Amino acid sequence: MSVALSILLPFIASAFIPFLYRRVTNIHLGWFVLVVPVVLFSYLATFIPRIASGKTFINTFEWIPSYDINITTYLDGLSMIFGLLITGVGSLVILYSIFYLSSKESLHHFYCYLLLFMGAMLGVVFSDNLMVLYAFWELTSVSSFLLIAFWHHRKASRAGARKAMTITVSGGVAMLAGFLMLYVASGTFSIREILANLEAVQASSYFVPAMCLVLLGAFTKSAQFPFHIWLPDAMEAPTPVSAYLHSATMVKAGIYLVARTTPIFGGHEVWFWSVSAVGLVTLFWGSFNAVKQFDLKALLAYSTISQLGLIMSLFGLGSAALSLGYSADTVIYTQATFAALFHLINHSTFKGALFMMVGIVDHEVGTRDIRRLGGLMSLMPFTFTIAVIGSFSMAGLPPFNGFLSKEMFFAATLKITQLDIFSLDAVGLIFPIVAWIASIFTFIYCVIIVNRTFFGKLQPDRLEKPPHEAPIGMLISPYILIALVIGIFIFPNVLGHYILSPAMASIYPSFPSVDELTPHIAAWHGYINTELIMTFGVVVVGIFLYRTLKKWRPMYQLIPQKYTLNGIYERVIGSSEQYSGALTKFYMNGKLTYYFIYIYVFFVAILAGYMVYADLFSWNPSNDSVIEPYELLLVFVMIAAAVAIIFAKQRITAVLLNGVLGYSVAFFFVVFRAPDLALTQLVVESVTTALFLLSFKFLPKLQPESGSKAWEFTKVTISIAVGATVTLIGLAVMNYDKFEPISAYFEDSYNLAGGKNIVNTILGDFRAFDTMLEVVVLFIAGLGVYTLIKLKAKKEGKDVED
């Protein structure tokens, strides 16, 4: 099985789920779906030794080679990390969902969406071609929209899905523009080839704009400030979705993009400050807002925002090494990137476990509101264990893996102050200060999770269900994750050598020594260093602020809701909907006359206006053919018929005059030696006239429109303007010689397409792709009609049965 097939496998499996769902009733559908990520994880794990030895695996399948768009899969150390997270955490999430989701849920939809998302994420991390990466990128937005809105009967779920899709897709469009600029600068969509031609790309005027647009895509996807507002609302999704999308995969797509493009943009000052500063602000703002939350899932949402900001800032700090170039002295600054990759994995373990813990509490107690919780430790000891290990790891306390990567984060912020580039000698101290303050808030909300949920007094009268421990099946997945939390702390260098070291080689391809890029990870360095002192300070200050929380919590009310980013978003969206609705009602008034006026005025303004502006109106009658008398006769017949229709007082008269116009056009085709067009026109006109006559009694009676003389004059003026515009454009085209006419190309239709009839060749060969798309549109419309009919019949049957 190739890497490309590993991308396709989830899509193939999702196609079979609807058929499997109808035939399997006694076994939970998730057991069959679980096979897919387990197989993929096992397959990717076989590459670990070879990737660790420095090998990469490339497969290319030609797709649109003329536009340099090919499906090229690239498996290296960086994509390996994300591939293992996507499939590994995906396996645990599906196992968890088997026991979490009721069989009454629409399971076939849920697992179909989940597999679509899994395949799209694998496509993002394994794609070397930027256009293919973008296609999968947007597919993650679509599939996540479906997952977030899974409980679509809830208004909050639908609103959260719309917000997530609006923000992430907007960023994706900006990212696409950045990719196109990179293509203009490099002449290729291949990331590997862009790196091979890096000097020319960096010298291009498109380099900085492309960088900014790519970062917009990454920031929106990974919920960086100020685009983070979609993530808390996305928590309306089922808990397995939150554990998968919002802790280990979707939000990490933006992180992956930054890591993958760091070798391209990393040495630039704009990149350094954008990534590190935005990450640092996100880290602080997420941790600060997490403390005020009362819903456990909302608290974890803001904690996720904060942790993503931490990882993003580390990638920004580590990019400074690329501006310095490789040397024994500069390798130390790459450790920030190493810490980012390390925390990326650690975050997936403890945050996935915490989301599952919250799902267990909600599932077994019926609420996530910490104001109604408390005293659950003795009743739910296994869930309590998950909460303690996951929370303390997120807080950066030993003996858990979060402590190791958090200490490396502190070390990176301290080391960066020693640099004298990018004005760091003046403002570099802000990095460790903000990191320390944000870590204090992180400690506070971690204590809130444990203390407010499991300690204190039990409030059974405020709970929806009698509290009890979760079934063992629901505990397996989070316990595997917390086992990794502890295991990574004990054996961190195994992870560093086999997983993190190859990824570092991918991010710093110009640095020759991979071993130097991989620091030794240790919980204790034999002495008390500054990072450890900062950790002690976090614990001491954090405990003090937690105990005085009631005194300073009112500060969160200082900013009115309408002035928050979320409030501004809601007002902008609400106003847009209101004004767009008013504008639509203004011009969509149900009167066909107005619709024609809009179309014709726009037509005249754009075409005639441009022709006048460009001075393209020219007519030389000396080059025209001789007009025969019978041609003039046909013209006058058509003019007379067209004018007579306006004054027709009976429906039959109008139908017949309309037929005269159509048949006159057919005679013109005969005169101009276009028998195919003449035959088509005769058939269409005959059918149209027959349909008019068949539905004659249903046609509305002809009534003169009531209106002022000014209104009538306006309509006459527009009609004359349209006729004059079409006529003048036709005359101007006859003498336009600035470009070679395309008819010369189609005249060679026999050699190009094997057809002697040029019209048939154009329709059947040159326009074949367009015709195919038209057929696809009709097919989709047919499916829609069929679906509506089936849904209506089903609904009627259900109503009768009820």
Q: Is residue 799 over pLDDT 70? A: no
How far is it, in rounded angstroms, from Cα 68 to Cα 536? 54
- Name residues whose C-beta falls within 8 Å of residue 357's C-beta, 6 or more positions apart in sequence: 383, 386, 387, 390, 478
* Mean pLDDT across 485-493: 95
pLDDT band for 802, please (50, 70, 90 cuts): very low
pLDDT at 792: 55
Token pair of 795, please?
A: 């609904």
What is the tens place of the pLDDT at every residue in 363-373? Answer: 999 899 999 99
3-class state of residue 481 by DSSP: helix
When pLDDT is averaged across residues 769-789 and rounded to a whole number, the result is 86
Show the tokens assigned to 555: 């500060």
By three-state DSSP, how is residue 746 classified?
Answer: helix
Q: What are the pLDDT digits (tens) for 172-220? A: 999 999 999 999 999 999 999 999 999 999 999 999 999 999 999 999 9
Q: Pairing state of beta strands 69-75 and 57-64?
A: antiparallel
* Statement: residue 801 has pLDDT above 70: no
| Model pLDDT for residues 152-167, shown as the tens digit of each residue | 888 999 999 999 999 9
Lowest mean pLDDT among 402-416, 468-482, 742-756: 742-756
Query: pTM of the prediction?
Result: 0.83
Which amino acid is present at 114? Answer: L
Q: What is the mean pLDDT of residues 754-762?
A: 77
- 526: pLDDT confidence band, cut at 50, 70 and 90? confident
Do the Cβ atoms of 470 and 363 come closer than 8 Å? yes
Contact predicate 291/441, CB 8 Å: yes
497's CB contacts (< 8 A; 6+ apart) are: 52, 518
Sequence-separated (6 or more) residues with CB below 8 Å from residue 546 = 443, 444, 447, 448, 451
CA distance 342 to 69: 33
Per the CB < 8 A criterion, the answer to whether 383 and 462 are in contact is: no
Instruction: Give me the residues paired with residue 129 across strands.
Output: 190
Angle at 485 between CA 481 and CA 486, to 5 degrees: 120
pLDDT of residue 227: 94
Handedness of CA 43, 45, 46, 50 (dihedral sign): positive
Per-residue pLDDT band for 650 (boundaries 50, 70, 90) equals confident
Phi, psi at residue 162, to the nearest 5°?
Answer: -65, -45
Question: DSSP labels for 764-785?
Answer: IIITHHHHHHHHHHHHHHHHHH
| Distance from C-alpha of 343 to C-alpha of 488, rounded to nearest angstrom | 11
Domain 592-739, CATH 1.20.120 — does that match? yes
**CA atoms of 211 and 261, how far apart (whole Å):** 9
**What is the structure's pLDDT at 314?**
95
pLDDT band at 399 (very low <50, low <70, confident <90, very high): very high
The average pLDDT across 422-448 equals: 90
